Structure 1
Amino acid sequence: MLIQDRYRLIQLIGKGGFCKTYLAVDENQFPPVPCVVQQLSLRYQTSEAFIYKAQQLKILDQHPQIPSLIAYFQDEQSCYLVQEFIAGSNLEILLQAEDAFSENQIWQLLTDILPVIKFIHDRQIIHCNIKPENIIFTDSKKFVLVDFAATQIFSEINQWMSKDCIGSPEYSAPEQTKGKAVFASDLYSLGVTCIHLMTQISPFDLYDIANDCWVWQQYLSTTVSDRLTKILTKLLHKASRDRFQSADEVMLAMGIDSCSSPSLSTSQPPQPLWKCIHTLQGIGNVNTEIHSLAFSPDGKILASGDEKIIKLWNLSTQKLINTLSGHSQAVKSVNFSPDGKILASASDDRTIKLWNIHTSQEICTLVGHSHAVKSVAFSPNGQILASGSWDKTIKLWDVNTGKEISTITGHQLQVNSVAFSPQGQILASASLDRTVRLWELLTNDVLFASHEITKEFKNRPNCTLLGILSGHSWAVLTVAFSPDGKILATGSDDNTIKLWQVNTGQVITTLLGHSWSVLAVAFTIDGTMLISASRDRTVKLWQVSTAKEIATLSGHADSVSTVAVSQAAQLIASASKDKTIKLWQLAQQES
């Protein structure tokens, strides 16, 4: 069975009252990539509730012991969650193949899985189906928690978004079976999982109904320490108020520091060395959302693109110099030519415009894309302009003539961002198809000789595809090369930033810290620092050599749409849906 013309269902691997789980492959990848597809009946939830649930589950992608949510969609009868395939064996299979778990193995399970449960609960999500079949022991000797189809999500307005807490009866807490799951319900299920693993007996048979108590200790083949017995006993209390109330409480009883895991640390990052020195806002009543920013090469001008207008700001006075009008829809990208004489702007109106900075007049309009243009970038010599569009293509334009040179195709979905390498030989493009593609352009001799460009490309209409970078679990929204051209940074809807080795296409590291989509990334001129902007309302600064977060710049009241770094001065600009631009500077530089 093929769904979405993409996911081939291979084998039914799980079935519950409202959910079927399939092993599948993504046939849009080559070679096809294994994944897990969960089919949920719409009888148990509304379409709106499913979409909200999927959006919240996406937040869990940050944790390495939770499978990534790759996609979600629905048809008339069912909803579908497509998740990362985790290689390994679930604990029920291991239990059948081997002896009962030892006390040491139970300690290892608790030590590994409690931080995962804490991570989920901290994000107001309850799993509702913790059991041996949903915990996978991987080849790297880690426990991974899977199957989030039955999760409940807490809303301050509506409390639990769904009242039907469907789980596995053998492992469900008493209150959960009545539709009133609490966070401690997951801890109860974890306790039941532990006693089943130690006894190899069904939980139904481990409970004495007549005396209303657990009798799991009678089935142990070896004795268990008083310490573990006390912890399990408290996990298994019938009344939720008598149980551990949080994963933190269990870890405290075990002597584990709940903040010891880097991915779960609640400690604050170092205090930022940068501070906001000025906030630029619209003039008079003209206050609109800003979508794009760019510094001029000399650092004297900041260009900003909003709903239709481009504004030019004098950075020494923080005053508006001029406005450039001509686009009929939002300006999603602005970029200065390397010599600072030309500004390129890309718009949702499907056009690109070139502007003379000295006269503030339009030079020409580049027409050819069939959908919104989201990104423009100049080649290092300023002769070529690249544009990325939601028509799934990249176009190359001759800046001197305004003529289209070539159309590059290959992405399966919309193109969000394009960037040239500092040497001008490689073009990177980022797309909603979750990939980044690297394209090899002409040699420098041909690329930088404008009178030869059109003739050369007539015989070679497309660039050579060097490689496809896959690793993000959601749309890739932004891309930037380091100043030496050796590292590529990408930001994604999966809340992460990845650093890639350009020559090998391998991931160097993944930067975790943003709690929502990463919309923009930019390197400082020396390449030592990366700047990122996110829908989580923050700008973050990262040290490239260590992949550590240096600082978080907070102050915007809404999603930060874009960020720019001045190469002439140590100055960062960020723009937000809150309709402001903030200028940030190193605090120690102030006189």
Structure 2
Amino acid sequence: MIPLLGGRYRPTELLSDEGGFGRTYLAQDVHKLNECCVVKQFAPKLQGTGPLTKAIELFKQEASRLQELGEHPQIPTLLAYFEQNHYLFLVQQFINGQNLLKEWETLGSYSEIEIRTFLLDLLPVLKFIHVRGVIHRDIKPQNIIRRQSDGRLVLIDFGASKQLTATVQTKMGTVIGSHGYTALEQMQDGKAYPASDLFSLGATCFHLLTGVRPSQLWIQQGYGWVQSWRQYLNRPGRDGISVSTELGEILDKLLQLDIQKRYQSADEVITDLTSQPSPLSSVPPTILTPTFAATSVNKAAVSLKSNSKLQMQLLLGSSILVLGLGGVWYLQTRPHTMSEYSPPISRPIPPEKSVPENSFLPKSLKGHSSDVNSVAFSPDGITLGSASDDKTIKLWKLASGEEIRTLQGHSTWIWTVTFSPDSKTLASGSADKTIKLWNLETGKLIRTLEGHSDGVASVAFSPDGKTLASGSASKDKTIKLWNLETGKLIRTIDGHTNGVSSVVFSPDGKTLASGSWDRTIKLWNLETGKLIRTLEGNAESILSVAFAPDGVTLASGCGDKTVKLWNLETGKLIYTLKGHNDKVNSVAFLRSTSPNGVTLVSGSSDKSIKLWNPVTGKEIRTLETGSGYIYAVAISPDGQTIAGGGSGENILKIWQMIQ
């Protein structure tokens, strides 16, 4: 290697000398203040004219494809392509992040919500390249990078791509693709189509979801694993991990061996994903918000449950980036940050502790086998209730942290629970589209309320205990009011244009506030069912709303990482509270811990709970969870205990104030 390549690129480190016919270097562009870039040197190790010709062809294809496709923000930009000293060189944009194989090795298997978020972030990229006649032909976790700056997925390694109109036939021994991830028609005939990339995408989802590498299964049984992929969900150590019927059907269609039965375009997959509710949603935090059409990313709010896959804490350390023919290895030392347009569910590194926690004593409550989507304290202060993706509700004795009983009856994930004002009844809402009322003294089911056409994301009792309000997901978009004495529907309230993630009664019981994935908060007159006003100005989905004790102030948690305080008499925004590094899934008010008598509490996917002074808008302290996203927060009636439910190692945790 000479000091400068192309008169401007200085190699600083050999990143990879693998892949058969390429070396990859980290380099500096001396014309751009030594900005980092990636240089690939074509240095074939192949023997014979045929393989060498094919390697040269693939290398030139990568340069050609990147020049065409690099305008997309999730594809590396081609900076230069030249010949020097009888070598070919390609210079690419340096993508600072880690590939999904390394992410999986660090964090463990993905949850359903993360798979949905992954698909909704990457499918638009595939649509972009397919519309331009390019097939990637080697989609796998190693070739997808989560960009550190904004959490977006970047598709790399176009060395194996080709134009749809090309007639190159793959010869024996030169198959383009990776065993296990490559579609049958591509493996047998060397022909690839958009549907071929979609098979590889399905195989990648399988790998990230189960932790089983398709390449290993292919060696053992060829394509035999495809029709029985579900058996790998419940292998030893995964404790009953499952996927919803809807996602299972999508993966089935992605993994069809017969190309005619497979999805034919990225748009078809997107349509199926966004027309269904996310089965793993926690109330505010984990619900799939089909905002994909607007941002091409969707976070679907998704809170998408980053549900089980969002476990384990990320470690600052080495991560791998594989680019093109070689691979790029480097140390990643900065935590992930999420842009307002990134998928709601990326897996950020825990932020530095910003506030001491010496006045709160943390304690984990063990019992649930999957993410906790909702937590609630009984008004008498004796009991804590928690709802989980494991289809159960658990009741805990607050004084000792002991489990009292488990309530079972819902057929799938439970998104929300709340206690009646007299502490005798518990209401739960589930992705199974029902609400169940439970007798807390006996643990028996009182009745099931049916009528929603989609999952129930939020439930709330009126202050007098006579009425229950429920909000439903995106196919339904309605709020329903129920007579608790008769179990009959009082009225249905329409007005939101997307799922209703959170409903709450005002302290006087005259007003209902609802937050929605349509980015609005609506206030309703409960006597008439009429809309009072709409609060607008949010950049992302509203995931949680809570009334302050004065009944005049409302707090909202939003997918844009902020908490907002609203004056309900004027409809004006009071404060925007910034400090969280990821979406704010839950908000609640705590009495008697701050000078003004009220503290605002917020829980976020940045794995922290923050306490705020709602009068000044200043942050008071941060409670770190250690691992896992926070999907829900609740405050005990005496203000002495904060409960947080979420994902990770400590999926249910309480912080008790030390006097």
Interval containing the TM-score (normalised by the shorter chain): 0.5 to 0.7
Q: CA–CA distance in 1 between the matches of 2:323 and 2:456? A: 38
Other-structure match for 1:210:
none
- Do the aligned partners of residues 323 and 504 (structure 1) sit closer, same or farther apart at CA in structure 2, a change above 3 Å counting? same
Question: What is the root-mean-square deviation of aligned Cα atoms in Å?
Answer: 4.1
TM-aligned CA deviation for residue 324 of structure 1: 1.3
**1:494 is the counterpart of 2:554:** no
Once the two structures are superposed, residues 252-289 of structure 1 have per-residue CA deviations (whole angstroms, 9 ceiling, x without a partner) of xxxxxxxxxxxxxx99633234423421101xxx6332
Other-structure match for 1:271:
356
**1:483 is the counterpart of 2:566:** no
For 1:421-570, what aligned pairs fall within 5 Å after superposition? 421-442=506-527, 463-526=529-592, 528-570=598-640
Q: CA–CA distance in 2 between the matches of 1:55 and 1:563? A: 28
Q: Which amino acid aligns with 1:571?
A: T
Please give the secondary structure, in 1, of the residue aligned with 2:391: coil
TM-aligned CA deviation for residue 375 of structure 1: 0.5
Q: CA–CA distance in 2 between the matches of 1:314 and 1:56? A: 43
TM-aligned CA deviation for residue 323 of structure 1: 1.4
Once the two structures are superposed, residues 464-510 of structure 1 have per-residue CA deviations (whole angstroms, 9 ceiling, x without a partner) of 11111112211111111101111111111111111111111111111
TM-aligned CA deviation for residue 20 of structure 1: 10
Other-structure match for 1:584:
655
TM-aligned CA deviation for residue 580 of structure 1: 3.0
- Do the aligned partners of residues 312 and 20 (structure 1) sit closer, same or farther apart at CA in structure 2, a change above 3 Å counting? closer
Kept after mapping to 2: 8 A contact 1:45/1:162? no
- Do the aligned partners of residues 521 and 162 (structure 1) sit closer, same or farther apart at CA in structure 2, a change above 3 Å counting? farther
Other-structure match for 2:490:
405
- Do the aligned partners of residues 335 and 81 (structure 1) sit closer, same or farther apart at CA in structure 2, a change above 3 Å counting? closer
Q: CA–CA distance in 1 between the matches of 2:537 and 2:144? A: 24
Once the two structures are superposed, residues 327-372 of structure 1 have per-residue CA deviations (whole angstroms, 9 ceiling, x without a partner) of 1111111111111111111111111011111222111110000111
Once the two structures are superposed, residues 274-321 of structure 1 have per-residue CA deviations (whole angstroms, 9 ceiling, x without a partner) of 423421101xxx633211111011111111111211111111221111
Other-structure match for 2:20:
none
Q: Which amino acid aligns with 1:296?
A: S
Q: Which amino acid aligns with 2:385?
A: A
Please give the secondary structure, in 2, of the residue aligned with 1:281: coil
Other-structure match for 1:93:
none
Q: CA–CA distance in 2 between the matches of 1:484 and 1:48? A: 54
Kept after mapping to 2: 8 A contact 1:280/1:582? yes
Q: CA–CA distance in 2 between the matches of 1:54 and 1:392? A: 34
- Do the aligned partners of residues 48 and 488 (structure 1) sit closer, same or farther apart at CA in structure 2, a change above 3 Å counting? farther
Q: Which amino acid aligns with 1:496?
A: T
Q: CA–CA distance in 2 between the matches of 1:20 and 1:269? A: 37
- Do the aligned partners of residues 364 and 435 (structure 1) sit closer, same or farther apart at CA in structure 2, a change above 3 Å counting? same
TM-aligned CA deviation for residue 556 of structure 1: 3.7
- Correspondence for 2:416 among 333, 337, 340: 333
For structure 1, which segment, 572-581 or 396-405, has the greater mean C-alpha deviation from structure 2 after superposition? 572-581
Once the two structures are superposed, residues 171-194 of structure 1 have per-residue CA deviations (whole angstroms, 9 ceiling, x without a partner) of xxxxxxxxx9x9xxxxxxxxxxxx
- Do the aligned partners of residues 45 and 582 (structure 1) sit closer, same or farther apart at CA in structure 2, a change above 3 Å counting? farther
Please give the secondary structure, in 2, of the residue aligned with 1:511: strand
Q: Which amino acid aligns with 1:408?
A: I
Q: Which amino acid aligns with 2:427?
A: A
Structure 1 stretches of 4+ with a deviation exceeding 6 A read 44-55, 78-81, 160-163
TM-aligned CA deviation for residue 157 of structure 1: 4.0
Once the two structures are superposed, residues 34-54 of structure 1 have per-residue CA deviations (whole angstroms, 9 ceiling, x without a partner) of xxxx9x953599799999779
- Do the aligned partners of residues 160 and 542 (structure 1) sit closer, same or farther apart at CA in structure 2, a change above 3 Å counting? farther
Q: CA–CA distance in 1 between the matches of 2:294 and 2:418? A: 39
**1:350 is the counterpart of 2:416:** no
Other-structure match for 2:400:
317
Kept after mapping to 1: 8 A contact 2:353/2:622? no
Higher relative contact order (CA 8 A, sep 6+): 2
Kept after mapping to 1: 8 A contact 2:544/2:556? yes
TM-aligned CA deviation for residue 17 of structure 1: 8.8
TM-aligned CA deviation for residue 537 of structure 1: 1.1
- Correspondence for 1:574 among 644, 651, 658: 644
- Correspondence for 1:376 among 459, 462, 476: 459
Q: CA–CA distance in 2 between the matches of 1:513 and 1:477? A: 17
Please give the secondary structure, in 1, of the residue aligned with 2:372: coil
For 1:181-330, what aligned pairs fall within 5 Å after superposition? 269-282=354-367, 287-306=369-388, 307-330=390-413
User: What TM-score do the two structures reach when normalised by structure 2?
Assistant: 0.49
- Do the aligned partners of residues 268 and 560 (structure 1) sit closer, same or farther apart at CA in structure 2, a change above 3 Å counting? closer
The structure whose Rg is larger is: 1
TM-aligned CA deviation for residue 159 of structure 1: 3.7
Kept after mapping to 1: 8 A contact 2:591/2:639? no
Kept after mapping to 2: 8 A contact 1:427/1:439? yes
TM-aligned CA deviation for residue 160 of structure 1: 8.2
For 1:107-186, what aligned pairs fall within 5 Å after superposition? 157-159=319-321
Q: Which amino acid aligns with 1:322?
A: R
TM-aligned CA deviation for residue 586 of structure 1: 2.1
Kept after mapping to 2: 8 A contact 1:269/1:550? no
User: What TM-score do the two structures reach when normalised by structure 1?
Assistant: 0.54
- Do the aligned partners of residues 562 and 268 (structure 1) sit closer, same or farther apart at CA in structure 2, a change above 3 Å counting? closer
Other-structure match for 2:44:
none
Once the two structures are superposed, residues 84-120 of structure 1 have per-residue CA deviations (whole angstroms, 9 ceiling, x without a partner) of xxxxxxxxxxxxxxxxxxxxxxxxxxxxxxxxxxxxx
- Do the aligned partners of residues 497 and 326 (structure 1) sit closer, same or farther apart at CA in structure 2, a change above 3 Å counting? same
Q: CA–CA distance in 1 between the matches of 2:548 and 2:324? A: 46
Kept after mapping to 2: 8 A contact 1:274/1:584? no
**1:420 is the counterpart of 2:505:** yes
- Unaligned runs of 5+ residues in structure 1 are 1-15, 22-37, 60-73, 84-154, 164-179, 183-245, 247-265, 443-459
Kept after mapping to 2: 8 A contact 1:348/1:371? yes
- Do the aligned partners of residues 161 and 406 (structure 1) sit closer, same or farther apart at CA in structure 2, a change above 3 Å counting? farther
Q: CA–CA distance in 1 between the matches of 2:499 and 2:569? A: 25
Q: CA–CA distance in 2 between the matches of 1:575 and 1:18? A: 41
Q: CA–CA distance in 2 between the matches of 1:310 and 1:367? A: 19
Please give the secondary structure, in 2, of the residue aligned with 1:491: strand
Q: Which amino acid aligns with 1:377?
A: A
Q: CA–CA distance in 1 between the matches of 2:358 and 2:393? A: 31
Please give the secondary structure, in 1, of the residue aligned with 2:591: coil
- Do the aligned partners of residues 436 and 81 (structure 1) sit closer, same or farther apart at CA in structure 2, a change above 3 Å counting? closer
Q: CA–CA distance in 2 between the matches of 1:51 and 1:398? A: 51
Q: CA–CA distance in 1 between the matches of 2:583 and 2:144? A: 17
Please give the secondary structure, in 2, of the residue aligned with 1:385: strand
TM-aligned CA deviation for residue 434 of structure 1: 1.1
Q: CA–CA distance in 2 between the matches of 1:409 and 1:487? A: 24
Kept after mapping to 2: 8 A contact 1:19/1:41? no
- Do the aligned partners of residues 507 and 358 (structure 1) sit closer, same or farther apart at CA in structure 2, a change above 3 Å counting? same
